């Protein structure tokens, strides 16, 4: 049976935390390729990670990607693909987080 992942996101003034939690307690090794963007509306890529190996990943120890925020008004997005050791795609998603506090627009 292939492992499935669910995404969790938490936004703070200084960072955004993306977690990808497998539906198993059995530790596993996974390969992750992701693109992290800031200023989501413009799609400014700040980092690309390809085939990063994560070991001992389980429900209690999920894959975590922490993205620092320069300001609470920064929008952040991640596009991610998670593969098992055989190279099968188990999860693909794009998640974005807007500003922590509303940004006033000029009238």
Q: Where are the domains of the chain?
A: 5-97
**What are 95's two structure tokens?**
């998640």
Closest residue by Cα to residue 18 from 69, 55, 88: 69
The pTM of the full predicted model, rounded to 2 decimals, is 0.85
pLDDT at site 31:
97
Is the CB of residue 91 less than 8 Å from the CB of residue 81?
yes
Q: What tens digit of pLDDT does each residue of 16-75 get?
A: 999 999 999 999 999 999 999 887 666 677 889 999 999 999 999 999 999 988 877 788
Instruction: Enter the CATH code of domain 5-97.
Output: 2.60.40.10
């Amino acid at each position: 049976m292939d492992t499935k992942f669910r995404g969790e996101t938490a936004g703070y003034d200084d960072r955004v935390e993306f977690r990808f939690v497998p539906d198993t307690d059995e530790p596993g090794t996974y390969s992750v390729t992701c693109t992290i963007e800031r200023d989501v509306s413009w799609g400014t890529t700040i980092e690309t990670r390809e085939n990063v190996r994560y070991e001992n990943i389980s429900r209690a120890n999920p894959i975590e990607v922490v993205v620092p925020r320069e300001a609470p008004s920064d929008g952040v997005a991640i596009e991610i693909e998670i593969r098992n050791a055989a190279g099968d795609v188990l999860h693909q998603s794009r998640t974005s987080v807007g500003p922590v506090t509303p940004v006033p627009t000029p009238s």
